[in-house]
Amino acid sequence: MYCNQRPEKPGNKKEFLKKITNMARANSLWVTAYGTGCGAIELRPLYTSRFDMERFGIAMRPTPRQADVLIISGYLATKTLKRVIRVYEQIQDPKYIIALGSCTINGGMYFDSYNTLNVLDKYLPVDVYVMGCMPRPEAVIDGFSLLMQKIKDGRAQGWKHYKENLDYYRENQKKIITDWDLPDYNW
Amino acid sequence: MLTNFTSIALTIVGALAWGLLLGGISRSVTARVHGRIGPRVTQNFIDIWKLFRKTSSIHHGGMFWMAPMFRITGAICVLLMVPLVIGQNITCNMSFAGDVFLLIYIMFFGCLGMALGAGNSGHPYAVIAVSRGLAQMSAYELSFSIAVVAIAVGLHTFRVEGIVAAQQAGITSWNIFRFPFASAGMLIAFLPMQMAYPFGIVLAPQEIPIGPPTEYSSRMLSFMFSGRALFGVAKLLLFVGLLFGGASSWLSLLVKTFLLYMYPVVVSSVFPRFRTEQSIRFLWFVPTTLALVDLVRVML
């Protein structure tokens, strides 16, 4: 079930207890359990006793409805983009994207591939990049720390940017997804 | 003597805070069993505030919105009828003659509301979880009800306060010693009530990820978590009152509810999960038979 209505532009509304809320948001990051590429294999050790991401308040959620963070884990194939858009737009605001690996920055080793996106930021608003091929779990935790700091400072505004510039993102997305059959916004 | 409104508010806020704190402690304990550090004990407060401040644009019909309210209402009703600390006037207690029967019914009111809400969301995982949950509920409800009736008949009172008052002659007068079989049946039924393993077939993260609340987000999920915390404390208070002699002071209340809460947490940490039919077969047979033994003994 989804509706066709485009989202309202968020603007700069005054928020009740903004600082406390941002602290809570930073210390309770729920991640959509969705792996787009090979980087997903580096996320598994984060659940284990060696790295234990739950000590930072980070948890996995099996549904985008309850998540805050979407991790683009490595290369993003043109086929996967449609699914990623659906997942990202179903996450409720505020929401954040962490992009793992060189592939999301410039295509990495797939820079000349016919079916891999080169610059992720053209299609979805990335809040934090974690470079490497592949980034080790320590680097992923470092990326999370960076995101937490950005949220505390009120600088993780990718979701606002996405809604305000939806036409720009849609135009780029439609260049890749030639059989576009999605609604105007996937609630 | 506080006004009714203040005492009700105090009861609800206190129970919510204690329920969320117990949830945080249980997450830490589970993490230690796994060999991890685990989240901070206040993590549940942080999660709830974050969820409350998220936007929500998902609509699946009226019942979808009502379900968390049903859960919270059921929890509050149980909470207000169970005595907290004997002889104090700070918190609310609306106990009346025959409230045991109402409690048996109203404890499952929230679950039924959740079933309707999850069904309204239309998500297949939610529907599977609801059918599992209702099947399991009918199994443990039977043993729980028989055990409560056995205790009530044995003590000649159908009022929770009366049951608590009958246990004030020392530890040996606690119902867990006077009605050992019924108590064993109730304590086994307590595990599926708390969705603990081996009876955790409703949320079952590996099969039907998180089950009934799959489509819930933001504020609705925040209410749902709050309802779960409240309901958890209400159940603890009821069990402490029915089996462990109630509480004569705030400290004994906290200690008893804490220890009782840890029982499903520890069991849950070390057991794998039953399949649905195994869980239901076990609950129909073992705790029900135990409860029946005491009921027959009392009737004879």
- Considering only residues 203 to 242 of chain B, which have any Cβ-Cβ distance to chain A shorter than 8 Å? 205, 209-210, 213-218, 221
CA distance B31 to chain A (A): 8
Bridge partner residues of B54 (DSSP): none
> What is the pLDDT averaged over residues A70-88?
90
The residues on A that touch B, with CB distances below 8 Å, are: 1, 7, 15, 20-21, 24-25, 27-28, 33, 48-49, 52, 54-55, 57, 61-63, 65-66, 68, 92-94, 187
Query: Which helix (H) or strand (E) is A96 found in, with range?
Result: strand A96-100
Contacts of B27 in chain A (CB under 8 A): 54
Q: Is the pLDDT of residue A68 over 60?
A: yes
Q: Is-contact B103 B160, C-beta < 8 A?
A: yes
Q: Is-contact B116 B61, C-beta < 8 A?
A: no
Q: Is the pLDDT of residue B296 over 90?
A: yes
Cis peptide before A137 (omega within 30 of 0): no
Phi, psi of B275, rounded to the nearest 5 degrees: -80, 165
Q: Is-contact B253 B247, C-beta < 8 A?
A: yes
Q: Tell me what pLDDT residue B91 has.
A: 64
Q: Which residues contact B157 (CB under 8 A, 6 or more apart)?
A: B163, B166
* Whole-number Å distance between alpha carbons of A186 and B148: 50
Contacts of B38 in chain A (CB under 8 A): 52, 54-55
**B196-239 tens-digit pLDDT:** 888 888 887 777 777 788 888 888 889 988 988 998 898 899 89
Going across the sheet that includes A69-73, the strands are: A59-61, A30-32, A69-73, A96-100, A128-130
**ipTM score assigned to the predicted complex:** 0.91
Would you kindly state where each structural domain of chain B is located, as residue ranges? 4-299
* Whole-number Å distance between alpha carbons of B54 and B47: 11
Residue B256's CB: how many other CB atoms inside 10 A?
20
Out of B50, B53, B215, closest to residue A65 by CB: B215
pTM, two decimal places? 0.88
CA distance A43 to chain B (A): 16
* Whole-number Å distance between alpha carbons of B89 and B3: 10
Contacts of B53 in chain A (CB under 8 A): 15, 21, 24-25
A187: confidence class by pLDDT, cuts 50, 70, 90: low
Q: A20 and B218: CB-CB below 8 Å? A: no
**A148-174 tens-digit pLDDT:** 999 999 888 899 899 888 889 999 999
Identify the weakest region by mean pLDDT among B44-58, B195-209, B213-227, B241-255: B195-209
Among B281, B271, B259, B136, which residue's Cα sits nearest to residue B197?
A: B271
Chain A CB within 8 Å of residue B49 CB:
yes
Q: B55 and A62: CB-CB below 8 Å? A: no
Q: How far is the first Cα of chain A from the last one, in angstroms, to the nearest whole number?
A: 8
Count CA within 13 A, CB hemisphere, residue A99: 25
Q: A54 and B210: CB-CB below 8 Å? A: no
Contacts of A152 in chain B (CB under 8 A): none
Q: Is the pLDDT of residue A115 over 80?
A: yes
> What is the pLDDT averaged over residues A41-68?
90
CA distance B231 to chain A (A): 22
> What is the pLDDT averaged over residues B126-140?
88
CATH of domain A18-176: 3.40.50.12280
Question: Tokens for B202?
Answer: 């409703």
Q: Tell me what pLDDT residue A2 has.
A: 52
Q: Residue B39: closest CA among chain A residues belongs to which residue?
A: A55
Phi, psi of B149, rounded to the nearest 5 degrees: -65, -40
B83: confidence class by pLDDT, cuts 50, 70, 90: confident
